[in-house]
Amino acid sequence: MIKSQVALLRRELWEHRAIFVVPLVVAVVMVLTSLTGQVSVNDLKAIDMGIVGASNMPENARSLALSGILVGLSSPFVFAMWILTIFYSLDSLYAERKDRSILFWRSIPCTDFETVLSKLVTAVLVIPLVTFVIIIATHLLVLLNISIWIDFRGGSPWHLIWSAVPFADNWTATFVMLLALPLWLSPFIGWFLFVSAFTKRSPLLIAASPIVLLPLLEKILFGSSVVAETLFVRSVNMPLFAGLDNMDLLFQGEDHLEKLANAKLSLLSLMDLGGFLSNLQLWLGLVVCGLFSAAAIYVRRYRDES
Amino acid sequence: MTSLVSARNVSKSFGTLRAVDNVSFDIEKGRIMGLIGPNGAGKTTLLKAVLGLTDCQGSLSVLGLDPFRQRKELMQNICFIADVAVLPRWIRVSQLLDFLQSIHPRFSRSRAEELLSSTDIHSNSKVRELSKGMVTQLHLSIITAIDAKLLVLDEPTIGLDIIFRKEFYANLLNDYFDEERTIIITTHQVEEIENLLTDVMFINHGRVVLDTPMEDIADNYVELLATAENADKVKNLRPIYEKEVFGKKVLTFEGVDRQQLQGFGELRTPDIADLFVAKVKGAAA
One-letter-per-residue 3-state SS of A73-96: HHHHHHHHHHHHHHHHHHHHCCHH
**Which positions ≥6 away from B131 have C-beta within 8 Å?**
none
A48 touches chain B (CB under 8 A): no
A contacts of B91 (beta carbons < 8 Å): 14-15
**Which positions ≥6 away from B191 have C-beta within 8 Å?**
B271, B272, B273
A187, B197, B221 from B257: Cα distances, Å:
72, 24, 9
SS3 for A10?
helix
pLDDT value at B250 more than 70: yes
**Which positions ≥6 away from A17 have C-beta within 8 Å?**
none
Give the whole-angstrom CA distance, residue A246 versus residue A196.
Answer: 35
End-to-end Cα distance, chain B? 38
- The better pLDDT of the pair B213, A158 is held by B213
**Closest residue in A to B86 (Cα–Cα):** A101
Distance of CA A47 to the CA centre of its chain: 32
pLDDT value at A190 more than 90: yes
Q: What percent of chain B has pLDDT over 90?
A: 43
pLDDT band at B23 (very low <50, low <70, confident <90, very high): very high
Q: Average pLDDT over chain A, rounded to whole?
A: 86
pLDDT in tens, B190-249: 888 888 899 999 999 899 999 999 999 999 999 999 888 888 888 888 889 988 888 888
Cβ contact, residue pair A99, B88, below 8 Å: yes
pLDDT band at A265 (very low <50, low <70, confident <90, very high): low
**Closest residue in A to B90 (Cα–Cα):** A15
Rounded to an integer, the average pLDDT of A289-294 is 97
Choose among A10, A104, A306: nearest Cβ to B88. A104
**Window from A251-255, A263-267, B273-277 with minimum mean pLDDT:** A251-255
B150 touches chain A (CB under 8 A): no
Looking at residue A291, its amino acid is: L
Cβ contact, residue pair B99, A7, below 8 Å: yes
SS3 for A163?
coil
Rounded to an integer, the average pLDDT of A185-193 is 96
Contact A169/A268 with Cβ under 8 angstroms?
yes
B53 touches chain A (CB under 8 A): yes
A222, B166, B214 from B192: Cα distances, Å:
67, 8, 15
Q: Across-strand partners of B186?
A: B154
Helices and strands (DSSP H and E) totals, chain B: 11, 13
Give the whole-angstrom CA distance, residue A64 versus residue B14.
Answer: 66
Give the whole-angstrom CA distance, residue B78 versus residue B62.
Answer: 9
Nearest-10 crossing angle of helices A59-92, A18-39: 150
Cβ contact, residue pair B75, A108, below 8 Å: yes
B95 touches chain A (CB under 8 A): yes
pLDDT value at A266 more than 80: no
Rounded to an integer, the average pLDDT of B39-64 is 90
Rounded to an integer, the average pLDDT of B10-29 is 90
**Closest residue in A to B40 (Cα–Cα):** A306
* Range with the largest mean pLDDT of A34-43, A146-155, A173-182: A173-182
| Residue-level pLDDT at A140 | 95
Cβ contact, residue pair B72, A11, below 8 Å: no
pTM for the whole structure: 0.85
Looking at residue B62, its amino acid is: V
Cβ contact, residue pair B98, A10, below 8 Å: yes
pLDDT value at A166 more than 50: yes
| Residue-level pLDDT at A246 | 47
Contact A244/A273 with Cβ under 8 angstroms?
no
Q: Could you give phi then psi for residue B155, rounded to 5 degrees?
A: 50, 55
- The better pLDDT of the pair B84, B190 is held by B190
Cβ contact, residue pair B95, A110, below 8 Å: no
Cβ contact, residue pair A111, B98, below 8 Å: no
What letter does residue B236 receive in the DSSP assignment? G
| Residue-level pLDDT at B123 | 93
pLDDT value at B79 more than 70: yes
A14 touches chain B (CB under 8 A): yes
Rounded to an integer, the average pLDDT of B241-263 is 88
Q: Which of A250, A239, A243, A247 is nearest to A267 (CA)?
A: A243
Q: Which of B49, B81, B54, B50 is nearest to B159 (CA)?
A: B81
A contacts of B96 (beta carbons < 8 Å): none
B186 touches chain A (CB under 8 A): no
User: Which DSSP string do the residues of A211-240 spell out, in sequence order?
Assistant: HHHHHHHHHHHHS--HHHHHHHHHHH--GG
pLDDT in tens, B86-133: 899 999 999 999 999 999 999 999 999 998 998 899 999 999 999 988
Choose among B76, B89, B90: nearest Cβ to A109. B76
pLDDT band at A236 (very low <50, low <70, confident <90, very high): confident
| Residue-level pLDDT at B189 | 79
**Closest residue in B to A10 (Cα–Cα):** B99
**Which positions ≥6 away from A251 have C-beta within 8 Å?**
none
Cβ contact, residue pair A6, B72, below 8 Å: no
Rounded to an integer, the average pLDDT of B175-199 is 86
Task: Tell me the longest C-alpha to C-alpha distance in chain A.
Answer: 72
Question: What is the dihedral sign for C-alpha B170, B172, B177, B182?
Answer: negative
| Residue-level pLDDT at A149 | 82
Which residue of A108, A299, A300, A301 to mutate against B (max B Cβ within 10 Å)?
A108
Distance from CA of A153 to the nearest CA of B (A): 49
pLDDT in tens, A61-81: 888 888 888 999 999 999 999
pLDDT in tens, B191-208: 888 888 999 999 998 999
List the 106-125 stretch of A: residues with Cβ below 8 A of B: 106-111
pLDDT value at A283 more than 90: yes
**Window from A233-242, B176-185, B224-233 with minimum mean pLDDT:** A233-242
| Residue-level pLDDT at A259 | 56
Q: Across-strand partners of B241?
A: B252
**Which positions ≥6 away from B16 have C-beta within 8 Å?**
none
pLDDT in tens, B131-162: 988 888 898 889 889 988 999 998 888 777 88
**Which positions ≥6 away from A259 have C-beta within 8 Å?**
none
Contact B21/B42 with Cβ under 8 angstroms?
yes
Rounded to an integer, the average pLDDT of A101-108 is 88
A contacts of B87 (beta carbons < 8 Å): 101, 104
B contacts of A306 (beta carbons < 8 Å): 44-45, 48
Rounded to an integer, the average pLDDT of A111-119 is 95
Rounded to an integer, the average pLDDT of B70-88 is 84
List the 3-22 stretch of B: residues with Cβ below 8 A of A: 14
Q: What percent of chain B has pLDDT over 70?
A: 97
Which ipTM was obtained for this model? 0.83
HSE-CB of B228 using CA atoms within 13 angstroms:
4
CB atoms within 10 A of CB A33: 12
Q: Across-strand partners of B183?
A: B32, B151
| Residue-level pLDDT at B118 | 86
Q: Average pLDDT over chain B, rounded to whole?
A: 88
Distance of CA B285 to the CA centre of its chain: 26
Task: Tell me the longest C-alpha to C-alpha distance in chain B.
Answer: 69
Give the whole-angstrom CA distance, residue B48 versus residue A304.
Answer: 9
**Which positions ≥6 away from B205 have C-beta within 8 Å?**
B21, B41, B42
A177 touches chain B (CB under 8 A): no
- The better pLDDT of the pair A29, A242 is held by A29
Choose among A15, A108, A306: nearest Cβ to B103. A108
pLDDT value at A269 more than 70: yes
Rounded to an integer, the average pLDDT of B71-81 is 88
Nearest-10 crossing angle of helices A253-262, A59-92: 90
